[in-house]
Copies of this chain bind each other. A is one copy, B any other.
Amino acid sequence: MINKLTEKIKKTGAPIVVGLDPMLSYVPEQVKKEAFSKCGETLEGAAEAIWQFNKAIVDATYDLIPAVKPQIAMYEQFGVPGLVAYKKTVDYCHEKDLVVIADVKRGDIGSTSAAYADAHLGKVLVGEKQLAGFDADFATVNPYLGSDGIQPFLNVCKQEKKGIFILVKTSNPSSGEFQDRLIDGKPLYEHVAEKVAQWGEEVMGDSYSYVGAVVGATYPEMGKALRKVMPKSYILVPGYGAQGGKGVDLVPFFNEDGLGAIVNSSRGIIAAYKKEEYATYGAQNFADASRAAVEAMIQDISTALRK
């Protein structure tokens, strides 16, 4: 799947991923109204609204992008119906031949991590049948529990030719509280990055590993250092746009081959119609505003990378 991701990035010229993190407040009134008139002001109604919202955005952008990254928390908040919408979104994106990065940030001890890996990337055995739960292509994983929390994901990645992105340095303001603390003269996130490189050796694709890392766009200098620590790992870079990262900040996350990073934007794309610069689209044409925001993001990043 890392090979497919790399190919799709080359083909689209767009090292970007659209974050499908549908807060209900991003969904235009007309979409909510229709969903609520169909299902009521219920969890099912909310789930229907975010699913219709997602579908319109995917329809308007899928030919420009290699991948999407649904943030499962935004679905989980609506309980079981929300997770039905999550699953529909994953499946629909697959129909559109998009790579799906499940932003689930799971991580636990051995047998439990194995269950999470099966849930999101693998299959479970039910009687005689092998069945998939959520069936994404990549998942994000939390490293706090160490190797035996990661190994079950590596096993499933090997078997299914899928991948993971391990949290190394997150984009949020307080990420430094633990991640930046020095251990033997090096910050914790660098120790984690060294492990990512090591874990990644086990599961190599053609030129990149199935094991990538998450490093926030908000920390470009750390990105530069970490790029060297994990040369064979794709870096998934959140924090572009709404969280403050810009195209020029992203250059250090890429390798010299122009690959090795994929930049996420969520709110900046899916709620583009609410931004002043795309206001002319209006709420009715929210998906077209998302398409325009994707085009601007590709332009911004490719210009920065060409310099």
Give chain A's interface residues, CB within 8 Å of chain B: 21, 23-24, 32, 36, 41-43, 45-46, 71, 73-74, 76-80, 82-84, 87, 105-113, 115-116, 118-120, 124-129, 131-134, 142-149, 167, 170-179, 181-184, 188, 191-192, 195
Cβ 8 A contact of A82, one of B133, B144, B148, B181: B133
State A177–B195 Cα separation when bound (angstroms): 10
Contacts of A82 in B (CB 8 A): 119, 133
Q: Could you pull out 5 A-B pairs where Cβ atoms are within 8 angstroms? A: A24-B125, A43-B131, A83-B83, A143-B178, A146-B179
Residues of chain B with a CB closer than 8 A to A172's CB: 109-110, 145-146, 148-149
Cβ–Cβ contact A178 & B191, under 8 A? yes
* CB-defined contacts of A118 to chain B, threshold 8 Å: 77
B83 A87 Cβ-Cβ under 8 A? no
Q: Point out which of A36, A105, A192 has the most chain B C-beta atoms below 10 A from its C-beta.
A: A105
Q: Are B144 and A77 in contact (CB under 8 A)?
A: no
Please give me the residue from chain B that is nearest to A181 by CB atom.
Answer: B183
Report yes or no: B132 in contact with A79, Cβ–Cβ below 8 A. Answer: yes
Closest 9 CB pairs of A and B: A146-B177, A79-B133, A41-B127, A146-B174, A109-B172, A73-B115, A76-B119, A148-B174, A77-B119
**Shortest Cβ distance from residue A127 to the other chain B in the assembled complex, whole angstroms:** 3
Partner of A80, one of B41, B87, B146: B87
Residues of B within 8 A of A174 (CB): 145-149
Chain B hits for A147, CB < 8 A: 174, 177
Distance from A93 Cβ to chain B, minimum over Cβ atoms (Å) = 16
Are A77 and B45 in contact (CB-based, < 8 A)?
A: no
A124: chain B residues at CB < 8 Å are 24, 43, 46, 77-78
* Residues on B with beta carbons closer than 8 Å to the beta carbon of A46: 124, 126, 131
Q: How far is the CB of A202 from chain B (nearest CB, A)?
A: 15
CA distance A142 to B79 in the complex (A): 20
A106 CB contacts on chain B under 8 angstroms: 73, 105
> Shortest Cβ distance from A244 into chain B, in angstroms?
13
CB distance from A82 to the nearest CB of B (A): 7
- Partner among B110, B115, B120, B177 whose Cβ is within 8 Å of the Cβ of A74: B115
